[in-house]
Structure 1
Amino acid sequence: MSQSQFFKNARVYRLTSGAADLFAAHDLDEHLAKFRFIGGTNLEMQSLGWAPPYEGHDSLIRRVGDAVLMVLRTSKKLLPTSVVNEVAKARAAEIEEQQGYKAGRKQMKEIKERVTDELLPKAFSVSRDTRVLFDLARGFLVIDAASSAKADEVIGWLSKTFDQFPLENLYVATSPAQAMTGWLAEDEAPANFSIDQDTELRASGESGAAIRYVKHSIDAEDVGRHIQSGKQCTRLAMTWADRISFVLDEGLNIKRIAPLDVLKEGEGSGIDKNDDERRDSDLALFAGEFGKLMAELIAALGGEKDLSGMGSQPTA
């Protein structure tokens, strides 16, 4: 399969009851159109909205079985503060010469606001697409984002698009840092996983001293000494079932996701398929394989934590 069809990163959340019914709605495309990306005006620093998941299509949603794909597009104007300040400073100097005294704080603020309004129409825009997978079979929401800020952007827009979107944070019984530290200390990965040559151990407290192994064999004795000194594993490269390699961090975020050769063997088998069929096939394959990976990873972390009665609030 094409590696580009795999998400590069994954921030995973738990879909609660009602998600399947939401995506079964016949007027969903019509509803999403109200929140479609249309681009901002010349005076907007940022604009966002849903964009078609497949190029060449108008639909804002693509469903293959229980896998639903959506894309949030964000466009931002590139207008550095340093440029605004430089132009505002020159403008303030002109005003000072005219009025005979320096501009005060309030006047400088007004000058900067006017300069920003003048420069925005001339500023370049950059767009970014963030893919969002709804695994309705397993109840996962997966956001292809490396940073929490990008994930929060998606969740915020979901909340705006769907009132009371059925979503919660995903909690596990054993913290990833504790589990990863244990796997390294015992030099043994959980069933169906293997440990690769990339890890980070970090001390708690103010020092935050860290040891990183990058493309380097991990020596069990050396790691053991760091663990005994109080460091915990906060980042660990792993492989699941000889099919997918990834990096797990202390926040249960999955990074650097990559399919291995066993998943690429069938890449040429779809040569007679059209683009849509190939993309649908790849979407179904990613959803299925990643869903299995997450299910086994959650099990290796002691299963999901039972938060019943603890007042868990949905994320969106």
Structure 2
Amino acid sequence: MTGAAGFIGRWVVDELLERGYTVHGLDDLSNGSRHNVAEFDSHDRFELTVGDVSEAGVVSGLLDEDTDACIHLAAEIDVQESLDDPESHFETNVVGTERVLEACRETDTRVGLVGTCMVYDMIDSEAGIDETHPTKPASPYAGSKLAAENLAESYYHGYDLPVTILRPFNTYGPFQKTGMAGGVVSIFTNRDLDGKPLKIFGDGTQTRDLVYVTDTARFIVDATFSEAAVGEIINAGTGSDISINDLAELIASDDTEIRHVEHHHPQSEVQKLLGDYEKANELLGWEPEVSLEEGVERLRQWLQEDS
């Protein structure tokens, strides 16, 4: 799998090992870190290779005819960075995906391509976004991820390569970054523990569908190995959303200040994210298991123990 030392990747590795798989991970450690997978170092069924997914031959060196599947998680994921430097996102997210698909085509290896809910058009999403919802990428990050999906679909239709495209909604949990490149739940929780103000960009009425990372990892593995999911695009969400204002209130301790600040990339802000996971439930029997309140508490405990 690619992106194995990243936030979500680390949890997918854990899920795969729990299910008895041998995992050959690839990561260039630009977003991921050895710390994320340190507990697997002594595991006899895990090996991490440090390398760039966009370099020809790197992925193919990890695959052979006996490989059961390739889960492709490696990506540049920073919206603001993509607006400042779109080329880096194209190189990793599009060229890197082409390298993965070619390596999988050569070995006839099924692919679980992890995309993003950010590819959707956010207009008229009151009822929840399902997989038939129109796409409209609002940043080079989202555009490069949609391009990667289209490329993967072409390998499914053109070469009959078993490909499944996965679109998890906002994932949070332990091992997620707590700086600007992290997710809002991790940022807020870490700042609350540090006694710092929780800063909300804009008016805070924007909403997110927040999925705990173990639920996302289980979804990715279930979908990648499902015959019913081949050739499909599948969402993973919770079916409910929360405003950033309400999220801040949920996380903030009694003495923590909540501030509203000017948005740093308002042109690509998503006002409402609410996922419809009915297809995942029908095809995979998947549904989220961890509530937002429980997930925040698990994250809080982990941050305290890891500091």
Q: Which has the higher strand share?
A: 1
**Pair member with larger Rg:** 1
Q: TM-score range by the shorter chain?
A: under 0.3
Q: TM-score, normalised by structure 1?
A: 0.22
Higher relative contact order (CA 8 A, sep 6+): 1
